[in-house]
Structure 1
Amino acid sequence: MLPPGWRPSHSRCLSTLLLYVVSLLVALPEPSAGQASTGSSPTSSPATLIEGLGKAVAPLDGPWQFHLGDDPLWAVPSYDDSQWEKQMAQRPWGEQGHASYTGFAWYRLRLSLNLASGNSCDLSLLVPHLDDVYEIYWNGRSVGRSGRFPPSPIWYRSSDEPAIYILSPGTTQSPERELQGILAIRVWKAPLLSDDSGLSGGFEGAPVVGTPDSIAAYKTTLDYQWLRFNLVSFSEYLLYGIAGLLSFLSWLRDRQQRTLLWMTGFALSPLVRLALYGLRIAWPVGLSNALGPPVSSIRDISLWFLLLWLLHLDHDPALIRLARRCAVVSLSTTILDGLLSLLDASVGWFWVIQIADAVLTGIYFITAAMPLLLVALAIKQRRRLDLARRLVVIAAFLSGMMQVIQGLAPQGSRFTHWTLANKLREPIFLISGSAVSLPTLTGTFLLAALVYAIYRTSMEDRRRRSLLDHEMSSARELQQVLIPETVPSVRGFAITSSYRPALEVGGDFFQIIPLDDDFTLVILGDVSGKGIKAAIAVSLIVGLVRVLVETTQSPAQLLTELNRRLCGRLRDGFATCLTLRVDSHGNCLIASAGHPPPYVNNQELEVSGSFPLGLFPSVAYEESWLRLQVNDHLALYTDGLLEARNKTGEIYGFDRVRNLFSTLPDAARATEAAVLFGQDDDITVVTLVRVPIGEESADLSASSLNL
């Protein structure tokens, strides 16, 4: 066969013929299946003729010459591809006889374009998404690529966004404005993962050729159609984002509301997945696949704990432990699965990665069925659920089933040939050209149900909190009655007191009760625990003390009777107590029920100790006698002073207490020192300073009460 365009009238025709024959003999390779000899004839495959190309665009749907494998010579325009197979560009090669093929392949197409009068010779090519890495050659010259070929391949998660490439004028240009050229496309398909159907690879739509203006206008139309088609889906994600942002801002205001934090994780995770997979952002597939699974796991875990709270299952310790373990398994498997995506997909042992991917995916989808388990438990336990929670049950069940089916259906589909996953993604109806699919409906329903349920539950919590605040206010008023705001005048003594609860109300108490015959009874104690429970126990103890002082004035006897009445009434709790009876001459009787001993000046007083109140009914308490001299400083305190703890975990301790009382402080100053160090428990301090009779100062008899 002679070269095209050869005529006997051409000059030097004989030498041209000889050179052509020699080139055939030299370049002739061994014939192989599907490959013709490397002749120089550009007419080895028929040309695709496009007549009168003007402002319109022309699809290059084929047939294209197609060949598996890789050879740089296949980009050369003169390469003979007549023995290659033919494929259409509307479908990938997996649907045209090469299912599950991965690796290199080439497409070639010879173009012959007749341009309309008045149009420039510049051409542009619009290429839909090609699976996975590709490079385009026009007349043997590279005009653009997407991704990076092996070794160390990189391909992008760019959805189906078309790309535009500029083509230079063809090899020949006749007076009839005819352009000719060879379009060759080199493609590399990455190894398949567990959810790949094996039907992909190469073209996913026909390329389109035209002038730069017409191609740009055509791409704008395609982008608009894509945006319109996904409008409902994007609206759903926008609602998720708004709900997540509002939940996060609400959680910042009240960080004890962990439900708002779970709602934030549940609502913002789909928005992150949209950015990774659905917004035509050219993420490397390894990166998007590394981040996507953990984000899905965070959404799942957030939904689990939301359901535990909404379905009143959060009081079951075994179920909480199960949810936490499943959360660890889910997050661990998705992180490992994501890391597999970062490994080199061109290595020969990639089949090991594929097996590991399948195993980890299976484990993940076992944990993904957790919402179905929680809904089943709520129904089995016959939980009384209001309308909002019933809607959540229905929505969570539907969404959970949808997620499990969507995840499991494509697994191994290249062996099972199941098409359920594709059918689920298909739109069930259109709204003004925007697709609405079943997953979109279930996801929107679940979001609406969760938002409604959280709103109703938050209102209920706010109402309960208001009632609790009212109860706390009542408890504070009660404690203000039980803890004296002003210290009564005691003959021969200047007395100060300070009370600092760790919470709104506390478990410390003290009483200063004048008795007959110039005696005064000082009682200071500490109930185990804090808050309302401790405050109720305080009210009980103070009431009993006020009754018992009518019959006895002995500190030891008072503690004995008090202990007998408290046994079995503090609900596994106890109380330490120090009782002191003084007269105006400085004589003191002291009895202790497991309470820290007082300080006289800078020395800790030795007091006979015994068990705290409320533990054993038959305990007998002993008394110690002490004589205070004028200017002696007696300090009584609760263990909240001793156990004050700073940010590093260091406690105030005995040494600091000894140094503090060596300065002979009043009660307010001693309490403030511990608070500044780091209050961890209720703190109460009472000081008594012996003064000459008649020189008691009203300024020294003061009480500091901070509720």
Structure 2
Amino acid sequence: MEGNSPVWARTDFDDSSWSTIDLTPQTDPFDLTLSPGSFVPGWTAKGFSNLDGYAWYRLRVRPANPGQSLSLKMPADFEDAYQVYANGQLARQFGSFDSSPPTIFVSRPEAFTLPPPGPDGEIELALRFYMSPVSTLGTSGAGGMHEPPILGLPLTLNVIASNQNTGLAFGRFGQLLTTLLFLLLAPGAFWAWLQNRRELAFLWLFIELVTGVLFFVVGWIALASWLPADSARFWCFGVLDSIWIPGWIMIWWYWFGLNEKRWIPWAAWLLAAADLVVEALALAPVRDINFLSSDLRHSFNDVSLFLVAAICVLLLIVLVEGYRRDRTEGLLAAAPILLLEIGALFNYFSPLFNVPYPSLHIFALSISIANIASILLVLVVAVLAVRRFLRNRLREELASQVIEQDLEQARELQQHVLIPEEISSPDFNVQVEYHPDQLVGGDFFQTIAGRDGNLLVIIGDVSGKGISAAMLVSVLVGAARTRANDSFDPASMLAVLNKQLIGRAGGHFATCLVAELQADGRLRMANAGHIAPYLNGAEVPFTGSLPLGLSGKIEPSLQALQLRPGDQITFITDGVVEARDAAGELFGFARARIICNEPVSEIVRRAQQFGQNDDITVLRVDYTAGRRQMFAMEKS
């Protein structure tokens, strides 16, 4: 009976004028699998199509053995809350009737013990049901019970209720499996995004995985009656479900690199926002907001179906465009995307036409098509991510091999460029050691003997490392050799080298020191920001000067000395003084001055042993004028 009169719970109420409803299922009423055949259409399919709110069922039971305790098992499927009165007294309720409208929860079977029969030997049962107006949206045959209540022995009915609850849990096995997979892969997706922040597909995959986990958590909280069913529906099928397919659109849109089709994500999120508004309006009666007519609210299901279908079309467009760019990836993504869309659309068709939701059953476990699609989509993304990683790794290795070959060629070229000519002089003995920090370096040096017996020494350091620095080294060495054909003058040599750097250094600069050593011992030097040389263990004083390549006009620091027979002058680059140990301490000028009279190879070894982190060059010239006369006598 429709209505809400407390009189209908009394034992002396006359219900002879009430309509009768047949709750006989097509299958065995003790069927524990909750198969589709056990579903009994509710009161909206049995003459009360416009009824939502309260309705009552009444029945009388005469136990064969009045002294035996009996229990009543209520259905596992019903809308939406109920109270059971036995002999006029409240015996059980599901949901909370303390508020208006009542608070409803996700339905589940319950069994409870009935009071003993009355004086007439009968138990008068009155069942008060409340159905939310929202429960009729997009549902065929809603209203009240969808299987008959069962009367029997307490132990038997408790077992049946427990088994049905277990069956409901097994029916959510697919959700559990999907959630565990999502929990396992979510940190990996977030890590992959952190490794390359430009790969936004991984960030959206992480968001999608978290969304799937939240969907499961909210559903289980609602199943435990810790969250009202209307709130669970809004969060699961309103908020989370509205962003589920657009989330996959974002993943594949970024994955396939469809940046030129920016209208696709915009359209997807606008449709998702519209679907969320429709869901919120559909749930308005739950909040006791009834400004919309019943007919208008029933049309919301059609509107929502249209919006979801439009979002599915956008996902198909992304799939087609992705297939055009990479057929392998497009084909791998096709099957799970199509399953996902079928599952999304079945959310509307299944309750509307009372069609079983497509699922895979393994023994008592059930995995829905939506769960299968989600698992496959995540696995496909994982496989494609591994494939892309290996492919990028191969490309990087090939590119690295090319770079290594180029560096090796550059090293060989630099070695040929830097090899000084053999100095055969009765006045000078030259030693040099060069150890780049990488395959190619920025240090450069030259020793060139003149026809008059003079010696030209050039040592310098181009800022930076790698091929760019090595190319400038080649430019400077070539310019130095060309200029040496005309003049050994140190100042003019620096001017020529500076001119070569201006406009072509690409942000680099170079320190350089040029020394002209004459056979009679006169030494002229010009310095452009380079480390001062050591003469017999003492640093040669220079005033400050700028490196080459910083200004079009250069003002080098000049120095002139007179060498004596046996003098030795040692030139180094900053790789010696800037060697750094594990504690971060520099080798420094003090240590360099102490060892500057050691053999060239020993100076290099000490700097390398301390901790090389830059190119190291050590060049020494010994003035041996005392051998000059002996050399002349031998020739005569």
Q: Are 2:253 and 2:318, in contact at CA under 8 Å, matched by a contact in 1?
A: yes
Equivalent position SS for 2:159: helix
Structure 2: how far apart are the matches of 1:482 and 1:184? 100
1:183-582 matched pairs, under 5 angstroms = 183-192=125-134, 196-197=138-139, 199-223=141-165, 226=168, 230=171, 234-235=173-174, 238=177, 241-242=180-181, 245-246=184-185, 248-249=187-188, 252=191, 255-256=194-195, 263=205, 266=208, 269-270=211-212, 272-277=214-219, 280-282=223-225, 283-292=227-236, 293-296=238-241, 299-308=244-253, 313-314=256-257, 316-319=258-261, 321-322=262-263, 325=266, 329=270, 345-349=286-290, 351=292, 366-379=310-323, 382-386=324-328, 389-396=330-337, 398-403=338-343, 405-406=345-346, 419=353, 422-423=354-355, 425=357, 446=377, 449-450=380-381, 452-464=383-395, 466-467=397-398, 510-516=442-448, 517=455, 519-526=457-464, 535-552=466-483, 554-561=493-500, 574-582=506-514
Residue matched to 1:67: 2
Distance 1:671 1:331 in 2: 57
Return the letter of the residue paired with 2:65. L
Q: How many residues align?
A: 532
CA distance in 1, matches of 2:335, 2:473: 54
1:163 is the counterpart of 2:74: no
CA distance in 2, matches of 1:248, 1:693: 55
Q: How does 1:163-182 map to 2 (within 5 A)?
A: 163-172=110-119, 178=121, 180-182=122-124
The CA deviation at 1:144 is 2.3
In the alignment, the residues of structure 2 paired with residue 498 and residue 356 of structure 1 have an alpha-carbon distance, to the nearest angstrom, of 81
CA contact (8 A) 2:511 2:547 kept: no
Q: Contact 1:667/1:686 (CA < 8 Å) preserved in 2?
A: yes
Q: Indicate the SS of the match to 2:64.
A: strand
Q: Which amino acid aligns with 1:390?
A: L
Q: Is the 8 A contact 2:204 2:250 kept in 1?
A: yes
Deviation, 1:162, is: 0.7
Say which of 54, 70, 86 aligns to 1:138.
Answer: 86
Q: Measure the CA separation in 2 of the matches of 1:692 and 1:451.
A: 61
After superposition, the Cα gap between the structure-2 partners of 1:197 and 1:243, relative to the gap in structure 1 and judged at 3 Å, is: closer
- The equivalent of 1:104 in structure 2 is 54
SS at match of 2:83: strand
- 1:20 paired residue number: none
Q: Secondary structure at the match of 2:508?
A: strand
* 8 Å CA contact 2:509, 2:550 repeated in 1: no
User: What is the Cα deviation at residue 168 of structure 1?
Assistant: 1.2
For residues 25-51 of structure 1, give each alpha carbon's deviation from its aligned partner in whole angstroms, at most 9, with x where no partner exists.
Answer: xxxxxxxxxxxxxxxxxxxxxxxxxxx
Q: Deviations over 1:104-163 (max 9, x none)?
A: 2222223222238xx7234333333331222222222222222223337432234xx211
Tell me: CA distance 1:399–1:545, structure 2 relative to 1, closer, same or farther (3 Å).
Answer: farther
| Percentage identity across paired residues of the two chains | 16
Q: Once the 2 structures are TM-superposed, how far is the Cα of residue 449 of structure 1 from its aligned partner?
A: 4.7
Query: CA 1:205 to 1:371, structure 2 compared with 1: closer, same or farther past 3 Å?
Result: same
1:185-241, Cα deviation, whole Å (9 max, x unpaired): 22222232795336422222211111211111222443455566x3xx735852663
**AA partner of residue 210 (structure 1):** G
- Say whether the 8 Å CA contact 1:591–1:624 is kept in structure 2: no
Task: Point out the structure with the larger helix share.
Answer: 2
CA contact (8 A) 2:78 2:144 kept: yes
CA gap of 1:458–1:323, structure 2 versus 1, over 3 A, is farther
- Structure 1 position 430, deviation (Å): 6.2
Shift, 1:336, TM fit: 6.7
d(CA) in 1 for partners of 2:594 and 2:410? 33
Over 3 Å counting, the alpha-carbon distance change for 1:547 and 1:348 in structure 2 is: same
SS at structure 2 position matched to 1:705: coil
Cα separation, partners in 2 of 1:498 and 1:135, compared to 1, 3 Å: farther
Tell me if the contact between 1:512 and 1:523 (Cα under 8 Å) persists in the aligned partners: yes
Counterpart-to-counterpart distance in 2, 1:700 and 1:323: 66
Report the equivalent of 1:530.
none
2:73–2:112 CA contact under 8 A, matched in 1: yes
Quote the Cα distance in structure 2 between the aligned partners of 1:327 and 1:686: 64
> Counterpart of 1:522 in 2: which secondary structure?
strand
2:579 and 2:285 map into 1 onto residues whose CA distance is: 69
**2:317, 2:251 → 1: CA distance?**
14
1:128/1:622 CA distance change after superposition, 3 Å: same
CA distance in 1, matches of 2:590, 2:113: 96
Residue pair 1:193, 1:354 contacting (<8 A) in 2 also: no
The answer on 1:129 being equivalent to 2:77 is yes
Residues 265, 107 of structure 1: CA spacing in aligned structure 2 closer, same or farther, 3 A cutoff? same
For 1:154, the aligned partner's letter is: T
Summarize the Cα distance change of 1:666–1:521 in structure 2 as closer, same or farther, 3 Å threshold: closer
Q: Deviations over 1:50-90 (max 9, x none)?
A: xxxxxxxxxxxxxxxx223x233332222333333333343
Bigger Rg, which one: 2
1:266–1:626 distance in 2 versus 1, CA, 3 Å = same
Cα distance change of structure 1 residues 581 and 281 upon mapping to structure 2, 3 Å threshold: same
Aligned equivalents of 1:371, 1:308: Cα separation in 2:
9
Distance 1:498 1:167, change over 3 A: farther
**Matches of 1:472 and 1:606 in 2, distance apart?**
33
Q: Distance in 1 between matches of 2:300 and 2:215?
A: 19
Aligned residues of 1:125 and 1:167 also touching (Cα < 8 A) = no
Q: 1:22-41 to 2 correspondence within 5 Å?
A: none
Change (3 A) 1:366 1:435: same
> Is the CA contact 1:526–1:576 (under 8 Å) kept in the aligned structure 2?
yes
Partner SS state of residue 16, structure 2:
coil
Change in CA separation of 1:332 and 1:546 when aligned onto 2, cut-off 3 Å: farther
Counterpart code for 2:82: Y
Provide the rounded CA distance (Å) in 1 between the counterparts of 2:370 and 2:103: 30
Equivalent pair of 2:343/2:369 in contact (CA under 8 Å): no
Following superposition, the deviation at residue 375 of structure 1 comes to 1.7
Whether the 8 Å CA contact 1:430–1:436 is kept in 2: the answer is yes
Structure 2 residue matching 1:576: 3-state secondary structure: coil
User: Could you tell me how far apart the structure 1 residues matched to 2:365 and 2:15 are?
Assistant: 43
The equivalent residue for 1:624 is 555
Describe the shift of the 1:458–1:266 C-alpha distance in structure 2 as closer, same or farther (beyond 3 A). Answer: farther
Relative to structure 1, the CA distance from residue 439 to residue 299 in structure 2 (aligned partners, 3 Å threshold; closer, same or farther) is closer
Please name the residue that 1:661 is paired with: none
Assess, with a 3 A threshold, how the Cα gap between structure 1 residues 438 and 243 changes in structure 2: closer, same or farther: closer
Change (3 A) 1:579 1:441: closer
Whole-Å separation in 1 of the counterparts to 2:458 and 2:582: 24
Q: Report the Cα distance in structure 1 between the residues aligned to 2:278 and 2:19, rounded to whole angstroms.
A: 38
Classify the secondary structure of the residue corresponding to 2:128: strand
Residues 511 and 433 from structure 1, CA distance in 2 versus in 1: closer, same or farther, beyond 3 angstroms?
A: closer
**Alignment correspondent of 2:21:** 87
> Partners in 2 of 1:167 and 1:451 — Cα distance?
55
In 1, Cα distance between the equivalents of 2:118 and 2:59?
Answer: 14
Q: 1:222 to 1:512 in 2, by over 3 A?
A: same
Give the letter for the 1:162 counterpart: P
Q: 1:459 to 1:215 in 2, by over 3 A?
A: same
Question: Could you tell me how far apart the structure 1 residues matched to 2:65 and 2:289 are?
Answer: 48
